[in-house]
């Protein structure tokens, strides 16, 4: 059985950088064992397996190199970028069924936008636990007037504010400690950010998820969606359209666009979007 996988990058910055993802378009059933083996072979942070249910409705399963997960923003956007560029989409508005809920996809050239689950906010995490896991001093966090907090628009991450870009770049993550902390609080990982009120970029970000085999990720759709909601909730940002940059330290510059729709100061909709590039296709042979 030969399987075609698309090697893609989502959230590219002017066709450069972005976050790699494997995309497999299924035309039948595939066992979880085979999907896990394909994801391990491709060895990207996530690989999406996409099935078409109706003309405008799709279903997705997601795998890291080591395990299945409920949802992945950048892989979802990558998959619909593939469909769009191959001329396989019959509608510019589609729905996507995931383990985390049903999402909406829209095409707005050159971007693919994904409607994320509405935000959920969890407990605040002690600054000292976070700081020691990131290898930075505690004042780098406490001087921001924001507190590390669990937030989710599909996947739970700790939103971690740091004082500036310099502090962001000096992070020396202790992956064992981050994994332990992630397990302790039932999260995917940490999303660390530094605000920039002087430019069109809302915040510069880094994301660590070693618990799931991802030391650092160059672009994370769901995490930045959660960050936008976190900033809105804490009255840090008034605008509803935000730009987050991530991945520069990995030589993979990424732009993640997030749009919020609000009513009476409540968030009604969260969308993240970005540009998709297809680098190549590869054929994987599986036993029947």
pLDDT digits (tens, 9 = 90+) for 237-268: 888 999 999 999 999 999 999 999 999 889 99
pLDDT digits (tens, 9 = 90+) for 16-49: 999 899 999 999 999 999 999 999 999 998 999 9
Q: What's the confidence (pLDDT) of residue 1?
A: 82
Lowest mean pLDDT segment, chosen from 64-73, 127-136, 146-155, 186-195: 64-73
Give the range of the structural domain holding residue 18, as residue numbers without chain letter: 2-115+276-285
Domain of 209, CATH number, reads 3.10.310.10
**Based on the structure, what is the number of domains in the chain?**
2
The average pLDDT across 204-220 equals: 92
The average pLDDT across 63-67 equals: 92
Q: Are residues 238 and 218 in the same domain?
A: yes
Task: Tell whether the model's pLDDT for residue 140 goes beyond 90.
Answer: yes
Token pair recorded at residue 119: 């935000």
Is omega for the bond preceding 110 within 30 degrees of 0, making it cis? yes
Q: Are residues 60 and 135 in the same domain?
A: no
Q: Are residues 234 and 97 in the same domain?
A: no
Q: Are residues 76 and 56 in the same domain?
A: yes
What's the whole-model pTM score?
A: 0.85
Q: Are residues 164 and 237 in the same domain?
A: yes
Q: Are residues 165 and 257 in the same domain?
A: yes
Q: What's the confidence (pLDDT) of residue 288?
A: 67
- Distance from the Cα of residue 172 to its chain's centroid: 21
């Amino acid at each position: 059985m030969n399987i075609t996988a698309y090697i893609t990058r989502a959230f590219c910055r002017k066709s450069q950088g972005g976050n790699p993802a494997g995309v497999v378009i299924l035309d039948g059933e595939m066992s979880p064992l085979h999907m896990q083996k394909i994801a391990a072979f491709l060895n990207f942070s996530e690989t999406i397996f996409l099935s078409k249910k109706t003309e405008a409705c799709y279903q997705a399963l997601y795998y890291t190199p080591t395990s299945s997960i409920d949802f992945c923003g950048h892989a979802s956007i990558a998959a619909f970028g593939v469909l769009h560029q191959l001329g396989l989409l019959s509608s510019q508005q589609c729905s996507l069924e995931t383990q985390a809920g049903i999402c909406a996809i829209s095409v707005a050239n050159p971007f693919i936008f994904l409607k994320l689950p509405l935000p959920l906010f969890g407990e605040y995490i002690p600054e000292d636990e976070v700081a020691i896991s990131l290898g930075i001093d505690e004042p780098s966090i406490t001087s921001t007037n924001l507190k590390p907090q669990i937030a989710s628009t599909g996947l739970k991450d700790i939103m971690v504010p740091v004082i500036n870009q310099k502090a962001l770049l000096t992070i020396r993550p202790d992956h064992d400690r981050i994994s332990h902390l992630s397990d302790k609080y039932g999260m995917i990982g940490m999303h660390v950010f530094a605000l920039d009120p002087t430019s069109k970029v809302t915040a510069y970000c880094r994301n660590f998820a070693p618990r799931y085999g991802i030391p650092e990720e160059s672009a994370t759709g769901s995490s930045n969606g959660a960050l936008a909601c976190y900033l809105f909730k804490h009255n840090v940002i008034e605008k509803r359209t935000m730009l987050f940059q991530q991945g520069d330290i990995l030589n993979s510059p990424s732009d993640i666009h997030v749009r919020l729709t609000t009513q009476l100061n409540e968030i009604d909709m969260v969308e993240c979007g970005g540009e998709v590039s297809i680098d190549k296709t590869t054929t994987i042979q599986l036993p029947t």
